[in-house]
Amino acid sequence: MDRLTSMAVFVKTVDLGSFAATAAALDLSGPMVGKHVRFLEERLGVRLINRTTRRQSLTDFGRAYYERCRMVLAEAEAADALAADQLSEPRGKLRVIMPVHFGRRCVAPIMLELAQRYPALELDLSFSDPIADLAEDGCDLAIRTGNLEDQAGVMARRVARQRMVVCASPSYLEMHGLPRQIEDLGSHQTIIYRRSGRVVQPWLFPRHGQPALEVMPVSRLRFDDLAAIADAAAAGMGLAWLPYWLVRARIQAGALVPLLSDQPGFLYDAYALWLQTPHLPLKVRLAVDTLAAALPRLMT
């Protein structure tokens, strides 16, 4: 007899509580259900179910074997689904939540290209800086940057690394001079990012073999919007510490000047997160693979 089929019959028997109910559910005869269970018991050399005329109960070994059978069957279904995915296209709704600016400027264009490539794929994109609860918010995928907290049942894959850069406008540098080392930052006007209205994000600088150096600039300008910080820096209001992808065009146009060029930029990791599942849906796997391939090119 086929072992996987017998395992499936055994699991269904345990779930439903009787041979008769299993026979009806699987369109088998009662004796055939018993035959599948006996096949496993004879193969293993140990009893799985104690059976009487009135009731049946799992043995201790049967209970442990039942749990393993469920895992084996789930993996077998996932393997079959994987093969089916190769012959199909991603389809249905894909809900992705992402940080506002990083999402709008970097993630969304890639997702739109994916939707153009696969007409059966529906996109539902949300832009929000607060961290989302994947299960509670009904998200297929979340994009997050920075350090991640361990979350049970959530898988993560790094899809990009954002390089941070200190920059200022030519007019500001002409008036206030050029900072040549990290220690000079304290004597300059700065524009800083404040998250959630109260938490000020320090500026980070890598150090070989040590934790990143944290610099907490003092500033009279505090925004919770990265684009607004870039605007203020371009207007000559002070130094800013921003992702390179956000200010690349202004740097190339000469509106902003990158500073501390001999200091390596801090790298913020960007992750794709999804709920752990025996079989990752094709639409989610394809989105993650596409982001991992395309996002790094936008970071340089």
- 227: which 2 tokens? 């684009």
Give alpha helix (H) positions in 90-169.
Answer: 100-102, 108-117, 134-137
pLDDT of 278 over the 90 cut: no
pLDDT of 87 over the 60 cut: no
CA distance 268 to 241: 12
> Average pLDDT, stretch 60-79?
89
* 122 to 126, 272, 283: CA distances (angstroms): 13, 19, 10
- 126: which 2 tokens? 């949300």
CA distance 7 to 11: 6
Q: What is the pLDDT of residue 188?
A: 93
> Average pLDDT, stretch 134-154?
80
**Least confident window among 79-88, 104-113, 264-273:** 79-88
CA distance 107 to 38: 55
pLDDT in tens, 96-135: 999 988 999 999 999 999 999 999 899 999 998 777 677 7
Task: Say if CB 155 and CB 275 are below 8 A apart.
Answer: yes
DSSP assignment string, 73-104: HHHHHHHHHHHHHHTS---EEEEEEE-HHHII
**What is the reported pTM?**
0.66
More confident residue, 272 or 78: 272
Q: pLDDT class for 18, splitting at 50, 70, 90?
A: confident
pLDDT of 162 over the 60 cut: yes
Q: What is the pLDDT of residue 199?
A: 64
Q: What is the pLDDT of residue 198?
A: 62
CA distance 121 to 152: 28
CA distance 197 to 241: 18
Q: Which residues of 44-56 are buried (b: 16+ CB within 10 A; e: fewer)?
A: eeeebbeeeeeeb
**Least confident window among 4-13, 82-91, 281-290:** 82-91
